[in-house]
Amino acid sequence: MSEVKKIEKNILKLISSSKSLDELEKIRVDALGKKGIVSNLLKSIGSMNEKERKVKASLFNSLKDKIIQNIEKKKNLIYENIINEKISTEWLDLTRPTRPDNRGKIHPISQVTEEIIEIFSDLGFSIAEGPQIESDWYNFDALNIPPEHPARQEFDTFYVKNNSDIIAEPNVLRTHTSPVQIRHMEKKNGVPCRIIVPGKVFRSDYDQTHTPMFNQLEGLAIDTDINMSHLKWTLEEFCRAFFDIDNVSLRFRSSHFPFTEPSAEVDIRCSWVDGLLKLGQGDNWLEILGSGMVHPNVLNACNVDPEKYQGFAFGMGIDRLAMLKYGIPDLRSFFESDFRWLDHYGFDPLNKPSIHNGL
Ligand code: PHE
């Protein structure tokens, strides 16, 4: 057998017994690479005489072609094997149901809280927080509601067992967010201030518009030159942004809270057309919050001089505002953890309405 035939037999054998693309590539490089055995043969043609060159050139070239063809064939075979292997080991069950869409939704209360915070932040208010289990002192006394005060009965208070008689010891679930006014103002640099206080509050009450736990947002602005017109402007700006209506019309109705003097309940103009609530128009009024100028006794309780400082405070129900804005009929449904309800009234976390994206 000639030398070339031997080389050919050897390489073709290697090709046919190779098992992987890597192995095949190595065979190709050994034969046809720069320093490959076949390449060397082809190079040697240059030093041959013409007669010999004619014979050898066609011999070497057909060897090269044969190797290339065989490698190509083997490559296809290996690919086929890889695919067959995949087909036999991997499989798809097309009869299975599709994956459930598990995206969560933002609860309307979280959404509305964020919207309110955003609006008041733009107006220069910062957020303050306080404990949910409060003392008589912070929840009532410091807010000018001493034990014998009749208003104390209106708060439907949940009491927490406490063995001490000291009014500064925690013993109630806070009935409103107003105690955080005190906690803020009594701090060293508590005033002047502009704060809002979102948070949970508790009252023993349960029907379509009352739940034992609900969410309030308190507002407090104290400075040396604040009067009732600032309160009015702030609340109008808030309503304009929150309800997204230009023609806000608010009515300040004289009222009574022990911690403000004068006090006003605030109503927003609205109409009911075919059972649909429209804000900013019509002849009806809907109560949305309580407010007033902070009572001097409250400032005194925080060691803030009422001769120098005064300001306004307001308190609104976050849940109630959410019901109004998004047409949610029953307050209790907020806290029932019904996923179908959340799916309907909740907000897409990636596509939330906000005053900045105009949704
Ligand atoms: N704390 C009052 C309530 O819960 C609301 C309020 C806050 C009223 C501040 C006036 C000023 O009803």
To the nearest whole number, what is the mean pLDDT of the chain? Answer: 92
- DSSP 8-state code for residue 347: B
Q: What's the confidence (pLDDT) of residue 12?
A: 94
CB 293 within 8 Å of CB 312: yes
User: 203 and 134: one domain?
Assistant: yes
User: 76 and 153: one domain?
Assistant: no
- Asked which of 89, 118, 136 is the last residue of a domain, the reply is 89
CB 253 within 8 Å of CB 291: no
Q: What's the confidence (pLDDT) of residue 355?
A: 58
pTM of the model: 0.72
User: 44 and 116: one domain?
Assistant: no
> Residue 322 maps to which CATH number?
3.30.930.10
Separation of 291 CA from ligand 1 center, angstroms? 6
- Count how many domains the chain has: 2
Q: Nearest 5°: CA angle at 111, between 106 and 113?
A: 140
Determine what percent of the chain falls in helix, strand and coil, rounding each to the nearest 5. Answer: 45, 20, 35
User: 200 and 78: one domain?
Assistant: no
Q: What's the confidence (pLDDT) of residue 155?
A: 83
Q: What's the confidence (pLDDT) of residue 104?
A: 85
Is 350 part of a structural domain of the chain?
Answer: no
Separation of 255 CA from ligand 1 center, angstroms? 11
Residue ranges in the chain whose pLDDT is less than 70: 1, 102, 352-359
Is 283 part of a structural domain of the chain?
Answer: yes
CB 251 within 8 Å of CB 285: yes
For residue 255, the cross-strand partners are 263
- 200-259 pLDDT, tens digit per residue, is 999 998 888 899 999 999 999 999 999 999 999 999 999 999 999 999 999 999 999 999
Q: What's the confidence (pLDDT) of residue 8?
A: 92
Alpha helices in 45-107 (DSSP H): 50-89
Whether the CB of 315 sits within 6 Å of ligand 1: yes
Whether the CB of 257 sits within 6 Å of ligand 1: yes
Cα 7 to Cα 13, 37, 95, 328, distances in angstroms: 10, 9, 55, 86
DSSP string across 230-284: HHHHHHHHHHHHHHT-SS--EEEEEEEETTEEEEEEEEEEEEEETTEEEETSSSE
Is 41 part of a structural domain of the chain?
Answer: yes
Q: What's the confidence (pLDDT) of residue 311?
A: 98
- Work out the number of other CB atoms within 10 angstroms of the CB of residue 240: 16
Residue-number span of the structural domain to which 304 is assigned: 108-345
User: 176 and 72: one domain?
Assistant: no
Whether the CB of 260 sits within 6 Å of ligand 1: yes
- 313, two tokens: 């405070």
User: 120 and 167: one domain?
Assistant: yes
- 211, two tokens: 């739940």
Whose tokens are 């609205």? That residue is 270
Q: What's the confidence (pLDDT) of residue 116?
A: 96
Separation of 217 CA from ligand 1 center, angstroms? 9
Peptide bond into 97 cis (omega under 30): no
CB 348 within 8 Å of CB 106: yes
CB 171 within 8 Å of CB 141: no
